[in-house]
């Protein structure tokens, strides 16, 4: 039987392998390699609603990739970030704050708050200043004294993963980096704990739902490509229009720059990354970043 390659970096695949209650053993095995919490706390590891509810109609809502609760009420959030985004650190902080704040209802005592652990898996470099692919953050002062144990952030950066195993979580992160079905097979043979996740990948690759999901992803990719193409066309036309209005070479150059700046502003509003906008407009990253405060 021939299996089509599917990557756990796809939202649907990740959700099936780790966010489906029937596959909770996968999630438990992965977390046990990473978290220092009592083993029996996994006895009631439960996938819960990932939607962060709105407190008021005009406030921002949100959806996390995977939200879990443990036997003692700990909240574990796992976020998968494939594309690099300039606002990712702020997004991580926002979700952490919401997962703390959403726990209490009217009249609840603050002592009822449970620990929140956020795990962010990045298929790009998030922390340029750090060498390690695993980084753990807590709320501490400059003397390294802990203020609270209620908040913990763990970042995992796949591009920094070494070639050889150096940590118990390494095989799982290598699983995320697989590029063909043979890679999965080799991992499963060497690391028995990955046999079930690899079986999940094979099952997903044969499912009709995955084929529909893949088709939808391809349509979205083409929509994004066409949107970028249109922005490029708009940038060129706006630049030329401004240049013609000036009637001189200097005017043309200035008009093109103004047009590109306007397109860059619109693209930032649409949520495009600085890197993508640079590709579209040809503007340098500093110029694009300087537009952010003026939006």
Q: Find how far residue 76's CA is from the centre of its chain.
A: 15
* Domain boundaries defined on the chain: 11-206, 223-294
At CB < 8 A and 24+ separation, what contacts does 161-169 make? Answer: 161/133, 162/133, 167/33, 167/134, 168/33, 168/34, 169/30, 169/33, 169/34, 169/134
Could you tell me which of 210, 183, 188, 208 has the C-alpha nearest to residue 198?
188
**Residue bearing tokens 């949107």:** 227
- pLDDT tens series, the chain, 295 aa: 677 788 899 888 899 999 999 999 999 999 999 999 999 999 999 999 888 876 665 667 778 899 999 999 999 999 999 988 888 999 999 999 999 988 988 889 999 999 999 999 999 999 999 999 999 999 999 999 999 999 999 999 999 999 999 999 999 999 999 999 999 999 999 999 999 999 998 888 877 555 555 555 555 555 566 666 667 666 666 666 665 555 544 444 555 677 677 777 777 776 677 777 777 777 888 888 887 754 4
pTM for the model stands at 0.71
Residue 7 phi/psi, 5° resolution? Answer: -105, 140
- Distance between CA atoms of 95 and 67, rounded to whole angstroms? 11
Interval 218-272: pLDDT, tens: 555 555 666 666 676 666 666 666 655 555 444 445 556 776 777 777 777 766 7
Q: What is the pLDDT of residues 14-25, one digit of tens each?
A: 999 999 999 999
Strand partners, 46: 69
Q: Distance between CA atoms of 152 and 246, rounded to whole angstroms? A: 56
């Amino acid at each position: 039987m021939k299996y089509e390659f599917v990557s756990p970096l796809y939202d649907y695949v990740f959700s099936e392998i780790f966010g489906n209650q029937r596959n909770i053993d996968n999630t438990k095995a992965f977390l046990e390699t990473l978290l220092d919490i009592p083993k029996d706390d996994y006895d009631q590891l439960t996938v819960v609603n990932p939607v962060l509810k709105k407190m008021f109609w005009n406030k921002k809502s949100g959806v996390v990739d995977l939200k879990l609760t443990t036997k003692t009420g700990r909240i574990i959030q796992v976020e998968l970030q494939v594309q690099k985004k300039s606002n990712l650190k702020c997004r991580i902080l926002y979700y952490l704050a919401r997962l703390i704040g959403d726990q209490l209802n009217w009249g609840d005592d603050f002592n009822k708050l449970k620990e929140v652990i956020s795990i962010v898996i990045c298929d790009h470099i998030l922390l340029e200043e750090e060498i390690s692919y695993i980084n753990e953050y807590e709320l501490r002062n400059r003397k390294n004294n802990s203020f609270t144990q209620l908040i913990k952030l763990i970042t995992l950066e796949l591009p920094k993963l070494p070639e050889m195993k150096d940590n118990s979580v390494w095989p799982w992160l290598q699983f995320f980096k697989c590029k063909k079905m043979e890679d999965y097979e080799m991992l499963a043979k060497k690391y028995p704990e990955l046999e079930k996740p690899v079986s999940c990948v094979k099952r997903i690759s044969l499912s009709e739902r995955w084929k529909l999901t893949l088709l939808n992803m391809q349509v979205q990719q083409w929509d994004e490509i066409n949107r970028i193409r249109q922005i490029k066309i708009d940038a060129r036309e706006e630049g030329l229009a401004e240049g013609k209005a000036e009637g001189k070479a200097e005017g043309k150059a200035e008009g093109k720059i103004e047009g590109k700046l306007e397109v860059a502003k619109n693209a930032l509003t649409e949520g495009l990354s600085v890197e993508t906008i640079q590709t579209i407009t040809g503007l340098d990253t500093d110029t694009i970043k300087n537009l952010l405060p003026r939006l």
